[in-house]
């Protein structure tokens, strides 16, 4: 076998598609690995503070507002381009440093939408312990431990637009100690729960109105900073026409330099700010020499430029001198490296120049991009050359060069860059390069764009590698029957000796076999898969096999076996784990969190889930995604954090829409239905259930999926019917459902269904049947430790459990029920729900009925109770009958026992 796995095998070992920032200069694209720490690549440019084009005007009033914001955890500076957001942050940074306050500056870009990458740069800049691994929890824990004043400054925050990245920033805000402040500069208002921060007085917002220059600042800027001799009326005219917009004022100062007709020029300024900016930029360009003007226009096609590149582009030899002239003239040019070798234009000015080039020299940009590509190739920068070919719409040359560089990109894990390029090349051009087609399908899959990936796959004839991706896509998009059909055929064409590619098919195939109830076939396939080894793929396959085995154990109700299997896998992985999220650790940790949750170890489960970076889920199926978000939502709600509960469900719903998975969408609505039902908001619950059922086409009682095994539209419907008092209807529906679950060995689901059946039976007055059903449920739950399955049904089941305890707790051993489990469960009910209050509310005992119980407990007979309460003996007997019904008691002894359990008696 070759020492170098084939392309698909190498692609399958890359967990994410994000690692290269969109704004990074193409000039050093091939060399950025030199600027990295062990772990994730670290880009020093992200920590550099942008230089000011001119000497900035001290914004004393704004800086004073920042100084006075002692209670603010967040300072938000938001306005459109050119209003001085970055300048204000730079001034604030200088002020902090002068006062001994630590400052971290980070320039954001779209690649930071992967929280692991964002965390890695924070980790590097904080000099946090460990490598720049992107461990989100490690970064947040380090931040929360700091005890000296510090500020984190995030520029270009509008680059972050995914729930995962915004969620990480929200957690960062929550982790900040009292001595820390987060300062954000953004063109848009970020979605980071600003309403809650505003209500708590923890945010200072500085918007467009505050950033505009005041008339006094405009006068100071024009006269002192720019050295222009203007009278008050001229300054007032400029203030009115620019509305204090800093970029327009700067452009106006450039146009005014050397003019004799300043007054008439100032009076001529009018129109909207953007129109004014374009007008001024045009005026500045026209005032330059022809040599400068041509240089500005033609180099505007480049994100970054240096003198040798410009010489090649323009066919000249004096570019260095021109660059120095432009820098001295402050023409929106700034160096991007300390050696002042590479430069770039201000974004707004470059956009203007690009449009002007297209107007004045149509088609010239494509020619210039081709020349730039030639220079990059000559200087051995092939990746930057690819970008220039694509900018020139020279698709054939770009695709041919990309195909040659594919191994370099894949081996470096630079799949987001690869995906961006593949997306730009027309499909008919890509079709000539099978490896590019394969990579396109895989990178789309990693980006969770499953429908787009499937369209790429379907456009090409069946083949070994394409069919492997097809099988995985069908499994990820909740099409288990179709995945089985493809997988069973495909697995026969593959050799188990080719472990990675065999595992790519065997893994989703085994998963779908479990889903279909074909457990023994799944186990045989897993056994065959993990007995092979290839280029380190053994650990990956063994980890995923353990995950599927534990999934099967959980579905069959073997919670302790699943826990033991997962713990053994964790101990094997811990000493040899070279990559924090390699070797199937993601899948195993999600399953471990679910097992911990079922055991009511909420803190441990929450910590484990929080440690999983969002970008590690790029190639996770519906079950993993649902578990990753529903469990922390429930934990947050249990801890009283309803905002976090809502946030997790909103993120889950967005993921469902993006991936096209109706089961993920359904899961979000099912959780809303469950909570609304338990809170007795039945109309809202019914609406949420209707939304869930619209996405409920996946539900079939014979199929199993661990994330939705006990959360289905059917189960939600029965829970709602019980809450509405439709007990007989629920009983009629639940009995056959339990039989189906048992027939297919879905014992965890059968347990949940039995609990609902017991509630329905109790509600319909069949107390004995309810307690017998609960006994059967406890015989499984008590030995396996299914605590949360009970606790998640709320106070109604607690009431029934306490009735059961009065009659049967002393008989546990004879009933094959663990006495310690019962004691533990009752204690957890009391701790989590407040038994006394919940019990009284649920039982709905009247004050007179409670008085009757207390007199009965004092040893009084009916006649004595009647005399003391001034009632007839017949009325006392009626009260006792009503009390027995409400408590589910069969005699006076049970009445008193249940009353004591609810704290009704001292």
Task: Give the residue carrying structure tokens 């063109």.
Answer: 187
**What is the reported pLDDT for 839?**
45
Most confident of 126-130, 245-249, 689-693: 689-693
Q: Of 182, 103, 176, 181, which is closest to residue 145 (Cα–Cα)? A: 176
Summarised one tens digit per residue, pLDDT across range 230-259 is 888 888 888 887 778 787 787 777 777 767
Percent of the chain with pLDDT over 70: 87
pLDDT above 70: residue 270: no
Res 54: pLDDT: 61
Q: Which residue has the tokens 């288990």?
A: 480
| Rounded distance between C-alpha atoms, residue 878 and residue 410, angstroms | 80
- Cα–Cα distances (Å) from 444 to 52, 272, 437, 793, in that order, read 40, 42, 11, 40
**What is the SS3 assignment for 181?**
strand
pLDDT in tens, 141-163: 888 888 889 999 999 999 998 88
Pairwise CA distance, residues 845 & 823, whole Å = 25
- Given a cut of 90, is residue 494 above it in pLDDT? no
Q: What is the pLDDT of residue 39?
A: 46
DSSP notation for 727-761: HHHHHHHHHHHHHHHHHTT-HHHHHHHHHHHHHHH
Q: Is the pLDDT of residue 339 over 90?
A: no
The secondary element (H helix, E strand) that includes residue 458 is helix 450-458
CA–CA separation, 549 and 546 (whole Å): 5
Contact 43, 20 (CB under 8 A): no
Q: How many CB atoms lie within 10 A of CB 71?
A: 11
Using 50, 70 and 90 to split pLDDT, how confident is the model at 573? Answer: low
How many whole angstroms separate alpha carbon 351 and alpha carbon 370?
A: 20
pTM of the predicted model as reported, rounded to 2 decimal places = 0.64
Q: What token pair was written down for 392?
A: 């020139």
**Mean predicted confidence (pLDDT) in 714-732:** 96
Of 346-355, 472-481, 756-765, the least confident: 346-355
Report the alpha-carbon distance of residue 822 to residue 806 in Å, rounded: 11
Whole-number Å distance between alpha carbons of 475 and 623: 11
What is the pLDDT at residue 775? 97
Closest to 644 in 3D by CA, of 170, 241, 61, 23:
170
- Give residue 313's pLDDT band: very low, low, confident or very high (50, 70, 90): very high
- Distance in angstroms (rounded) separating the CA atoms of residues 710 and 727: 20
Q: Which residue has the tokens 């946090």?
A: 128
Residue scoring higher pLDDT (897 or 695): 695
Retrieve residue 133's tokens: 């691994």
Q: Return the pLDDT at 275.
A: 59
Q: 155 - beta bridge partners?
A: 107
For residue range 39-84, what is the model confidence (pLDDT) as tens digits? 456 777 788 888 765 667 778 888 888 888 777 889 999 887 778 8
- Average pLDDT of the segment spanning 329-349: 79
Give the C-alpha distances (Å, rounded to integers) separating 210 from 215, 243, 569, 866: 12, 12, 57, 76
pLDDT score, position 70? 73
Greater pLDDT, 582 or 54? 54
Which of 130-134, 166-170, 890-894 shows the lowest per-residue confidence on average (mean pLDDT)? 130-134
List helix spans (H) across 287-346: 290-299, 307-314, 319-328
Range with the lowest mean pLDDT among 231-235, 632-636, 741-745? 231-235
d(CA 173, CA 35): 29
Mean pLDDT confidence for 448-475: 85
- Name residues whose C-beta falls within 8 Å of residue 182's C-beta, 6 or more positions apart in sequence: 73, 74, 75, 151, 152, 154, 169, 172, 173, 176
Q: Can you give the pLDDT at residue 12? A: 59
Read off the tokens for 668.
């979000």
Q: Could you tell me which residue, 586 or 568, shows the higher pLDDT?
A: 568
Query: What is the per-residue pLDDT for 330?
Result: 67
Q: Which of 263-272, 309-318, 470-479, 885-894 has the highest mean pLDDT?
A: 309-318
CB burial of 585-617 (b: ≥16 within 10 Å; e: otherwise) equals bbbbbbbbbbbbbbbbbbeebbebbebbbbbbb
pLDDT digits (tens, 9 = 90+) for 769-803: 999 999 999 999 999 999 999 999 999 999 899 88
Rounded Cα distance between 416 and 409, Å, is: 10
- End-to-end CA distance of the chain: give it in Å, rounded: 78
In angstroms, rounded to a whole number, what is the distance separating the alpha carbons of residues 613 and 115? 7
Mean pLDDT of the chain: 83
Banded model confidence at residue 31, pLDDT cuts 50, 70, 90:
very low
Question: pLDDT for 515-536, tens place per residue?
Answer: 888 888 998 888 877 655 444 4
Question: For the residues 8-18, what does the mean pLDDT come to?
Answer: 53
pLDDT bucket at 295, cuts 50 / 70 / 90: very high
Return the sign of the alpha-carbon dihedral for residues 630, 632, 636, 638.
positive
Q: What is the mean pLDDT of residues 216-238?
A: 85
Handedness of CA 709, 711, 715, 717 (dihedral sign): negative
How is residue 39 annotated by DSSP?
A: B
Q: What is the pLDDT of residue 831?
A: 82
Q: Which residue ranges form the domains of the chain, and what is each CATH number?
A: 47-211 (3.40.50.300), 217-389 (no CATH), 727-841 (no CATH), 844-901 (1.10.10.10)
Q: How sure is the predictor about 820, in pLDDT bands with cuts at 50, 70 and 90?
A: very high
Answer positive or negative: Cα dihedral of 441, 445, 449, 454. positive
pLDDT of residue 834: 60
Q: How far is Cα 594 from Cα 851, in angstroms, rounded to an integer?
A: 45
> Which of 368-377, 503-512, 622-631 comes out lowest in average pLDDT?
503-512
| SS3 assignment for 491-550 | HCCCCCCCHHHHHHHHHHHHHHHHHCCCHHHHHHHHHHHHCCCCCCHHHHHHHHHHHHHH
Q: Does residue 837 have a pLDDT over 70?
A: no
Find, among 614, 571, 552, 458, the residue nearest to 744 by Cα.
Answer: 552
Q: Given a cut of 60, is residue 840 above it in pLDDT?
A: no
């Amino acid at each position: 076998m070759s020492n170098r796995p084939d392309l698909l095998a190498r692609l399958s070992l890359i967990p994410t598609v994000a690692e290269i920032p969109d704004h990074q200069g193409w000039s050093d694209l091939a060399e950025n690995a030199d600027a990295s720490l062990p772990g994730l690549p670290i880009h020093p440019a992200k920590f550099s503070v942008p230089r000011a084009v001119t000497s900035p005007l001290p914004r004393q009033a704004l800086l004073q507002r920042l100084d006075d914001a002692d209670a603010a955890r967040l300072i938000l500076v938001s306005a459109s381009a050119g209003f001085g957001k970055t300048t204000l942050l730079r001034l604030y940074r200088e002020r902090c440093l002068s006062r001994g306050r630590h400052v971290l500056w980070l320039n954001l870009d779209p690649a930071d939408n992967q929280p692991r990458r964002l965390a890695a740069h924070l980790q590097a800049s904080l000099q946090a312990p460990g490598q720049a691994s992107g461990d989100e929890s490690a970064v947040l824990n380090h931040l929360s431990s700091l005890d000296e004043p510090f500020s984190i400054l995030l520029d270009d925050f509008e680059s972050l637009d995914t729930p995962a990245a915004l969620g990480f920033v929200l957690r960062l805000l929550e982790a900040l100690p009292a001595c820390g402040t987060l300062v954000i500069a953004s063109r848009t208002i970020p979605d980071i729960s600003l309403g809650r921060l505003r209500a708590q007085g923890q945010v200072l917002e500085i918007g467009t109105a505050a950033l505009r220059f005041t008339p006094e600042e405009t006068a100071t800027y024009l006269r002192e900073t720019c050295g222009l001799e203007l009278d008050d009326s001229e300054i007032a005219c400029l203030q009115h026409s620019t509305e204090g917009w800093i970029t327009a004022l700067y452009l106006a100062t450039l146009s005014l330099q050397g003019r004799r007709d300043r007054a008439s020029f100032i009076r001529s300024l009018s129109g909207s700010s953007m129109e004014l900016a374009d007008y001024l930029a045009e005026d500045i360009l026209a005032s330059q020499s022809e040599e400068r003007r041509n240089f500005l226009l033609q180099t505007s096609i480049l994100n970054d430029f240096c003198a040798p590149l410009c010489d090649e582009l323009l066919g000249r030899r004096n570019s260095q001198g021109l660059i120095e002239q432009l820098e001295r003239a402050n023409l929106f040019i700034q160096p991007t490296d300390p050696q002042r070798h590479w430069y770039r234009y201000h974004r707004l000015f470059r956009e203007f120049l690009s449009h002007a080039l297209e107007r004045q020299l149509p088609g010239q940009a494509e020619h210039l991009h081709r020349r730039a590509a030639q220079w990059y190739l000559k200087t051995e920068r092939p990746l930057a050359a690819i970008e220039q070919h694509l900018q020139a719409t020279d698709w054939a040359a770009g695709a041919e060069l990309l195909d040659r560089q594919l191994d370099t990109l894949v081996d470096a894990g630079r799949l987001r860059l690869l995906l961006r390029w593949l997306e730009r090349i027309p499909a008919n051009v890509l079709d000539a390069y099978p490896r590019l087609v394969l990579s396109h399908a895989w990178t789309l899959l990693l980006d969770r764009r499953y429908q787009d990936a499937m369209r790429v796959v379907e456009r090409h004839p069946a083949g070994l590698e394409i069919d492997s991706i097809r099988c995985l896509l069908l499994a990820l998009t909740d099409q288990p029957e179709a995945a089985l059909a493809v997988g069973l055929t495909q697995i026969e064409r593959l050799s188990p000796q080719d472990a990675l590619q065999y595992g790519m098919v065997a893994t989703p195939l085994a998963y779908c076999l479990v889903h279909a109830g074909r457990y023994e076939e799944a186990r045989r396939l897993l056994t065959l898969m993990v007995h092979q080894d290839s280029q380190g793929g053994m650990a990956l396959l063994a980890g995923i096999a353990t995950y599927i085995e534990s999934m099967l154990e959980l579905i069959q109700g073997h919670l302790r076996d699943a826990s033991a299997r997962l713990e053994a896998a964790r101990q094997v992985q811990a000493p040899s784990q070279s990559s924090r999220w390699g070797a199937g650790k993601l899948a195993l940790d999600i399953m471990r969190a679910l097992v911990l949750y079922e055991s009511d170890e909420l803190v441990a489960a929450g910590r484990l889930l929080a440690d999983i970076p969002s970008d590690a889920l790029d190639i996770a199926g519906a079950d993993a995604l649902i578990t990753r978000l529903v469990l922390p939502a429930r934990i947050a709600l249990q801890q009283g954090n309803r905002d976090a509960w809502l946030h997790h469900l909103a993120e889950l719903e967005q993921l469902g829409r993006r991936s096209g998975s109706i089961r993920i969408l359904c899961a979000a609505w099912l959780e809303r239905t469950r909570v609304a039902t338990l809170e007795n908001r039945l109309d809202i619950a019914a609406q949420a259930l209707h939304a869930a059922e619209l996405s409920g086409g996946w539900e079939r009682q014979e199929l199993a999926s661990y994330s939705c095994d006990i959360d289905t539209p059917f189960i939600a419907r029965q829970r709602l019917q019980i809450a509405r008092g439709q007990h007989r209807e629920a009983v009629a529906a639940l009995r056959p459902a339990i039989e189906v679950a048992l027939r297919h060995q879905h014992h965890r689901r059968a347990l949940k269904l039995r609990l609902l059946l017991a509630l329905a039976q109790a509600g319909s007055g069949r107390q004995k049947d309810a307690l017998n059903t609960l006994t059967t449920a406890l015989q499984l739950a008590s030995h396996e430790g299914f605590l949360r399955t009970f606790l998640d049904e709320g106070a109604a089941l607690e009431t029934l459990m306490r009735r059961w305890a009065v009659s049967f707790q002393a008989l546990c051993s004879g009933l094959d029920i663990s006495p310690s489990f019962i004691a533990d469960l009752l204690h957890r009910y009391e701790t989590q729900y407040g038994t006394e209050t919940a019990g009284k509310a649920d039982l709905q005992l009247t004050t007179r009925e409670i008085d009757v119980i207390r007199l009965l407990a004092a040893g009084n007979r009916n006649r004595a109770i009647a005399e003391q309460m001034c009632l007839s003996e017949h009325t006392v007997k009626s009260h006792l009958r009503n009390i027995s019904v409400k408590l589910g008691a069969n005699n006076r002894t049970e009445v008193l026992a249940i009353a004591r359990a609810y704290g009704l008696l001292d």
